[in-house]
Structure 1
Amino acid sequence: MSTDAIVAGPDEDDIATALEAEGATVARLNGDISRPALEEAGIVDADLYVLTDTGQATTIPIVCDLSDDIRTVVYARDTVPEFVKGQLDLALDPQLMDVGIVADELTS
């Protein structure tokens, strides 16, 4: 089964590439991420939303509003704001979890 993922934010740790190596189809979003941009990227049908910029944490509630079945993940060095922690499935620090291991877990 293939995973449809959206990686939002700068991808300095190459999580998108690692997800693709595990067979995922990945759409990438950069800059200010809006609801229309998420919809255009395919968020409604996506299985996984990976945010790499905690400054864009307001996208997590939007994603959860658009899709009941999506897994939300923050893969960033910065701390996740309190207001999104309840809607987040997983938060990981790239310095602690290797990108290949994370991608393997997220796609299996």
Structure 2
Amino acid sequence: MQVLLTGADDDDLGTALETLGAEVIRVEGVANRDSLDDAGLADAHTLVLTDMDDASAIPVAKEANTEIRVVAYSRDSLPEFARGQADLAIDPALLTADVVAEELVDGQVEADA
């Protein structure tokens, strides 16, 4: 399972995903079409945004990879324009990175079965 991760990841979701066997690729700089493509958007299963300043990447990712699952993992709210396009929005204050990682990885295993 390949996961693209944007933002600072202050709650260590990337590490939790890697611990469970996911390949995590951290998107460098601003999440835009070029940086997402460079990170492997075409082959990614999930895009995780930890900074809502990167929310404009959601429609870009969905257009380029119609199968990608988009997860917002942030204490900040998703902007209105992105709410209908994100598959899941989670506040780290409500669910720890370990719990979210487990759900994301288990969901992938079940989908592939």
Shift of 1:58: 0.2
Q: Which of 76, 86, 92 is matched with 2:74 structurally?
A: 76
Q: Which of 49, 52, 55 is matched with 2:50 structurally?
A: 52
Map 1:1-108; keep pairs closer than 5 Å: 3-108=1-106
Shift of 1:31: 2.5
CA contact (8 A) 2:28 2:35 kept: no
State the identity %: 44
CA distance in 2: counterparts of 1:32 and 1:88, whole angstroms: 18
CA contact (8 A) 1:10 1:30 kept: no
| Gap runs ≥5 in structure 2 | 107-113
CA distance in 1: counterparts of 2:64 and 2:32, whole angstroms: 12
| Gap runs ≥5 in structure 1 | none
Amino acid corresponding to residue 8 of structure 1 in structure 2: T
Shift of 1:103: 0.1
Amino acid corresponding to residue 105 of structure 1 in structure 2: E
Higher helix share: 2
